[in-house]
């Protein structure tokens, strides 16, 4: 690579665009592309632009800070956010024309006060908890929550633009929680209807449900992981044509000989059983390479799979070159799209006992990001 970059994340924006349009065509409903957490490590602003260009009607983020960054960068489309905290400053969000999510009457009261202060109605979506037991109004609170939302709408404090919920087990299509949650969601929708609410969009599905559970698509789907080309339900055969967007690469910083019996890295957790060569890769746990991947991860060096040896360090990891001596500066792909011998984020997740979401979202640190593709 040029410019002396130590290690970099290369994001293919054409892959993002392809995935957004493929999933939009597959689901046939409005696409809410989830770009929280810096677009799962891919970089929020370029991903947001690519998703909009590919037809995403909505973007979604978790926090109002993410809202501010998107609006400051010039995004003017529909934008949903869902994780506010007590005493959140809603004035900016109301002026920024964002669709807020409320979980409780107390939150609606805060939004009402801000709308009065700003002198303009907010847009509010209502989240009902159907069994994830995370955010959203618990079933026992649905009636007062929905009634408060209706009253605020009649008082001009907001327009209720959506009702939604979130699955716990969508990556396991046969899990009974899916049917139970969807039945509960339908109950909430019926109650909202009785109360006189007429939301613009009703939505329940994340990536896995959007792909695997057509009856859960309603008016829109909230798709995060699949946008990035990663499989939200590894091991479930669905054949969706997704393209992996992220490649993480570096250059070998050093190649040297090890003798049989030489031990490697902190704690000497690996000892060379025979003479070999070892390569130094300048990325470590500060870049999001999990320590849990010590002696377990594999990377490719010049297209050839190589095992990580010894403990992952803060700034670097060591790979076994098996006696070969590729030149320093040779390309190391930590993970990327399947094919070409490369390890994938899914391979890394399995090696580390985690999920592909965590691998891509945590990768970064001092790495630079570079974008390829027509929309970059
Ligand atoms: C993160 C998130 C999503 C996206 O989930 P994926 O599995 O990445 O598609 C959707 N909805 C909510 C509420 C989320 O927090």
Same domain, residue pair 171 and 48:
yes
Q: C-alpha angle with apex 245: 230 to 305, nearest 5 degrees? A: 80
Pair 86, 219 in one domain: yes
Residue 101 has pLDDT above 50, yes or no: yes
- Output the pLDDT for position 376: 57
Q: How high is the pLDDT of residue 2?
A: 45
Q: Is 266 a catalytic residue?
A: yes
Q: Provide the whole-model pTM.
A: 0.97
Residues 21 and 148 in one domain: yes
Give the SS3 label for residue 297: coil
Distance of alpha carbon 237 from alpha carbon 205, whole angstroms: 18
Assess whether pLDDT exceeds 60 at residue 89: yes
Give the residue whose CA is nearest to atom 12 of ligand 1: 166
Residue-wise pLDDT for 335-374, tens only, equals 999 999 999 999 999 999 999 999 999 999 999 999 999 7
Residue with tokens 């919920």: 165
H/E element, 188: helix 176-195
Query: Mean of the per-residue pLDDT values for the chain?
Result: 96
Q: What is the DSSP string of 85-105?
A: -TT--HHHHHHTT-EEEE-SH
Given a cut of 80, is residue 187 above it in pLDDT? yes
Atom of ligand 1 nearest to the CA of 207: 9
**Which residues line ligand 1 at a C-beta cut-off of 6 Å?**
34, 36, 82, 166, 206-207, 222-225, 232
Closest residue by CA, ligand 1 atom 6? 224
Atom of ligand 1 nearest to the CA of 34: 4
159 flagged as catalytic: no
Identify whether residues 130 and 208 lie together within a single domain: yes
Closest CA to 67 of 41, 97, 43, 46: 97
In the reported structure, the alpha carbon of residue 280 is separated from the centroid of ligand 1 by a whole-number distance in angstroms of: 36
Predicted confidence (pLDDT) per residue in 22-64, tens digit: 999 999 999 999 999 999 999 999 999 999 999 999 999 999 9
- Give the per-residue pLDDT at 6: 81
Instruction: List pLDDT tens digits, range 295-305.
Output: 999 999 999 99
Whether 345 and 214 share a structural domain: no
Check pLDDT > 70 for residue 4: no
Number of domains observed in the structure of the chain: 2
- Considering the domain architecture, whether residues 214 and 343 belong to the same structural domain is answered as no
Ligand 1 atom 15 nearest Cα = 62
- The pLDDT, as a whole number, for residue 34 is 98
Kindly give the distance from the C-alpha atom of residue 228 to the centroid of ligand 1, in angstroms, as a whole number: 13
Asked whether residue 224 falls in the same domain as residue 99, the answer is yes
Q: What is the CATH number of the domain that holds 177?
A: 3.20.20.10
123: buried, middle or exposed (CB in 10 Å: 19+, 13-18, 0-12)? buried
Residues 257, 184 share a domain: no
The residue to mutate among 222, 228, 358, 361, having the most atoms of ligand 1 within 8 angstroms of its beta carbon, is: 222
- Does the residue 121 lie in any domain? yes
- Do 318 and 196 share a structural domain? no
Q: What is the pLDDT of residue 240?
A: 96
Residues 208-231 have a mean pLDDT of 98
pLDDT digits (tens, 9 = 90+) for 303-334: 999 999 999 999 999 999 999 999 999 999 99
243 is in an annotated binding site: no
For residue 134, say whether it is annotated as part of any ligand binding site: yes
Tell me the per-residue pLDDT of 125-134, one tens digit each, with 9 for 90 and over. Answer: 999 999 999 9
Q: Which atom of ligand 1 is nearest to the CA of 226?
A: 9
pLDDT at 375: 60
Say whether both 92 and 156 belong to one domain.
Answer: yes
Ligand 1 mean position to 189 CA, how many Å? 20
Q: Are residues 154 and 24 in the same domain?
A: yes
Q: Which helix (H) or strand (E) holds 334?
A: strand 331-335
Instruction: Among 228, 262, 295, identify where a domain stops.
Output: 228
Range of the domain at 202: 13-228
């Amino acid at each position: 690579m040029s410019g002396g970059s130590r290690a970099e994340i290369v994001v293919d924006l054409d892959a993002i665009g392809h995935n957004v349009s493929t999933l939009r065509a597959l689901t046939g409903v409005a696409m809410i592309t989830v770009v929280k957490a810096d677009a799962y490590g891919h970089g929020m602003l370029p991903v947001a632009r690519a998703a909009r260009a590919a037809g995403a009607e909505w973007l979604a983020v978790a926090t109002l800070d993410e809202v501010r960054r998107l609006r400051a960068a010039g995004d003017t489309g529909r934008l949903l956010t869902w994780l506010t905290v007590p005493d959140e400053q809603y004035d900016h969000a109301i002026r920024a024309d964002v669709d807020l999510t409320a979980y409780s009457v107390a939150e609606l009261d805060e939004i009402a006060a801000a709308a009065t202060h700003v002198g303009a109605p907010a847009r509010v979506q209502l989240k009902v908890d159907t069994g994830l037991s995370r955010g959203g109004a618990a079933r026992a609170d649905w009636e007062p929550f929905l009634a408060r939302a209706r009253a605020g709408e009649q008082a001009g404090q907001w327009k209720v633009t959506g009702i939604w919920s979130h699955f716990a087990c969508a990556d396991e299509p046969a899990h009974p929680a899916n049917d139970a949650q969807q039945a509960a969601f339908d109950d909430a929708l019926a109650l909202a209807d009785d109360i006189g609410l007429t939301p613009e969009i009703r939505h329940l599905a994340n990536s896995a449900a959007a792909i695997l559970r057509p009856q859960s698509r309603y008016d829109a789907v909230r798709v995060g992981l699949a946008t990035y080309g990663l499989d939200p339900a590894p091991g479930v055969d669905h054949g969706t044509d997704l393209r992996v967007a992220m490649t993480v690469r570096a250059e070998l910083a050093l190649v040297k000989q090890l003798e049989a019996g030489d031990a490697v890295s902190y704690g000497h957790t690996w000892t060379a059983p025979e003479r070999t060569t070892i390569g130094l890769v300048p990325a470590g746990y500060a870049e999001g390479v999990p320590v849990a991947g010590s002696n377990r991860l594999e990377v490719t060096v010049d297209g050839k799979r190589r095992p990580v040896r010894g403990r992952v360090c803060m700034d670097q990891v060591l790979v076994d070159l098996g006696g070969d001596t590729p030149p320093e500066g040779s390309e190391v792909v930590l993970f990327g799209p399947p094919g070409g011998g490369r390890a994938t984020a899914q391979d890394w997740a399995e090696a580390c006992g985690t999920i592909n979401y965590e691998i891509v979202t945590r990768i970064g640190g001092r790495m630079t990001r570079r974008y390829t593709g027509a929309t970059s």
